[in-house]
Amino acid sequence: MITPFTPAIRNTNKPRILIVDDNSRFSQSAHLILQQSGHYVVCEENDAASAVETAGSFRPDLILMDLVMPRLDGAQVAAQIESDWALHGVPIVFMTGLVTPAEAKNGQRIDGHRVLSKPVSSSNLLRVVEESLPCRAAA
């Protein structure tokens, strides 16, 4: 599901969060949590092969990326995003069930990216997003 990119969305000062996950039930849940917080503009992409194009159009401030997806895994998509000059530097947080909550809490990283362990609680999702946004991390 792709959120339309209207001028109103592009002109807001709210951080833009892109969720890339082949599991639409998970991405819709995360989308709802983030959007209901009132602090973010959220877009979902459920096809890993389209993630770079969607990111280029949406211009996210942060990407939440499933690590295990069919055809392309999250690490491959992250590498494509990082090689795109317009997207280079956008923080990516990997979401995966391959890392335990304790490992994620202790700073486990995959390819240098922060990890969020699935299943994700609402409070943990909001905390990790807030901590991972570039404007928040620098403060």
Tens of pLDDT, residue by residue over 125-135, are 999 999 999 86
- Radius of gyration of the chain, Cα coordinates, nearest whole angstrom: 14
Can you give the pLDDT at residue 99?
Answer: 73
Pairing of strands 62-66, 41-45: unpaired
Query: pLDDT category, 1, cuts 50, 70, 90?
Result: very low
pLDDT digits (tens, 9 = 90+) for 48-87: 999 999 999 999 999 999 999 988 999 999 999 999 999 9
- Average pLDDT value for residue range 29-50: 96
